[in-house]
Amino acid sequence: MPMGKVYLVGAGPGDPKLITLRGLEALQRADAVVYDRLAGPQLLSRIPDHVERIYVGKRPDRHTMKQEEINQLLVDLALQGKTVCRLKGGDPTVFGRVGEEAGLLKQNGISYEIVPGITSAIAVPAYAGIPVTHRELASSFSVVTGHESPDKLDRTIHWDKVTNATGTLLFLMGVAKIGYISEQLIKHGRSPKTPVALVRWGTRAEQATLVGTLEDIEQKVREADFQPPAVIVVGDVVKQREELQWIEKKPLFGRRILVTRSRSQASELADRIDELGGEPYEFPVIETRLPEGPEAVAAIESALQEADSYDWVVLTSVNGVEFFFRWLETTGTDIRRFHRAEFAAVGPKTAEALKKRGISATALPEKFLAEGLLESLAQRVQAGQKALLPRGDLARDVLPRELNALGLETVSLDVYETVPAGRHDEFLLELLQDGGIHAVTFTSSSTVTNLMEALRRMGAESPAELLAGAAVACIGPITAKTAEEHGLRVTAVAEESTIEGLIQSLIEATNERR
């Protein structure tokens, strides 16, 4: 068996977009990922389903794996011929014990790479609006561990030299020792009025900042019950936070939002959440695909053979457009055969998808639902005309039924089918149980139904209770009705059944909760 390889990767401080391209490549090519609690949940969700995940961090209900055991685990996995990604928070060379892991790999003749990451020492303060250097305030900085016991800190840190060596002092993993650290800095020459900031879980949804001075920060930490992990910033640069804090001002800051759309469509919603300061957690619960059954394929081929007989082609979703044109390509049907047909779209996104293919929608409703489209079409269609409705297998029957009532011959065509998705995601369950999911978005009734089913498969006895602490935002009234039927309390319904409408309703719900 050929020997594997180990990538010792810095994941960055938590925001998944702060991992390097090389780090992401190593993560995506791995057969096994060994990670701890400092790796962000959104980044972990990008690990392919087939990859073995091994958690080696601290949990209340599990024995903590010792560093020597982690070192040996990496060796054992590589000896099994696996490509291993050892995912570490921040940069692996900054208090990441990468030297020990790489050392044992070398002793065993195992190939490895060290992939640097953005250290939390500079990234976390930046997300709190604190630059670690400033031309007028600090031209240098020091990074110091604060994790050790006071007696060991005294052996490893020369307080008389460190205290005033640089303008800014950064202590990692030092929340529990904040009183002792402050005491030593004051003792060795720093003013008791020196500004101090503690930034917890920086770059993640849980980010929180506490500001004080060397003389009062211990008391403030105690009163606020401020828990680790956090980066401690000491120096005048902390004053910059008043002017430069930025991410806290975004409307979705501090909110981790569950995105249940299919993987192919999730990016637009996830990107908007990210732009607005939220943290999207993608958990696709549906997949769309071409129908494979011989009867369905035969029906599609038969309907497209009559392309020149249609007066209307009515499309109710972007998926409908995408799969309709895929079938045209698959069957070799020339779009020009629909020369007599007018195209109607249920909303602006559907119309935009048509426009990209050189087709302008004739009927565009004010209400982005089938009922709205019917209102738009009622004044334009004529009895005896023929309409083609390329759509999904779960579409409602209201549109073909009402078009038939108007005297049209309607051909409903299932050009795609929606199937359940949603792999077992233990981390998602933990987030829900701990209140780490602050909102959930639903873009169709099928996303509601399939999320509830996925949670049951993962062991949740009552998915509705598990989601009770999260705001529930739905793209429209029909989706909201489905959510309520499943026992969910709907917090927000988009006024316009679009992604932007959903985002606006989510912002309003978030502001109300704040």
Cis preceding-peptide flag for 229 (omega within 30 of 0) = yes
Q: What pLDDT shows up at residue 259?
A: 95
Residues belonging to the active site: 36, 58, 173
Structure pTM? 0.83
| In contact, 388 and 313? CB cutoff 8 Å | yes
Confidence band, pLDDT 50/70/90 cuts, at residue 146 = confident
Q: What pLDDT shows up at residue 509?
A: 82
**Residues 157-181, buried b or exposed e (16+ Cβ, 10 A)?**
bebeeebeebbbbbbbbbbebbebb
* pLDDT(188) > 80: yes
Q: What pLDDT shows up at residue 463?
A: 96
For tokens 């602006």, the residue is 348
Confidence band, pLDDT 50/70/90 cuts, at residue 406 = confident
**Which residue ranges form the domains of the chain, and what is each CATH number?**
5-118 (3.40.1010.10), 122-244 (3.30.950.10), 256-285+421-513 (3.40.50.10090), 289-420 (3.40.50.10090)
DSSP 189-231: T--TT-EEEEEESTTSTT-EEEEEETTTHHHHHHHHTPPSSEE
Closest CA to 389 of 345, 340, 329, 454: 345
Q: Report the percentage of the chain scoring pLDDT > 70.
A: 95
- Name the residue with higher pLDDT: 328 or 374: 328
* pLDDT(368) > 60: no
What is the per-residue pLDDT across 435-463, written as a single tens digit (0 to 9) for each? 999 999 999 999 999 999 999 999 999 99
Confidence band, pLDDT 50/70/90 cuts, at residue 292 = confident
Tokens of 510: 């978030």
| Whole-Å CA distances, 237 to 139, 174, 257 | 10, 19, 32
Q: What pLDDT shows up at residue 60?
A: 46
Confidence band, pLDDT 50/70/90 cuts, at residue 372 = low
Region 175-196: mean pLDDT is: 96
The three-point CA angle 231-233-238 to 5° equals 130
CA separation for the pair 142, 168 (Å, rounded):
6
Confidence band, pLDDT 50/70/90 cuts, at residue 346 = confident
Q: What pLDDT shows up at residue 345?
A: 87
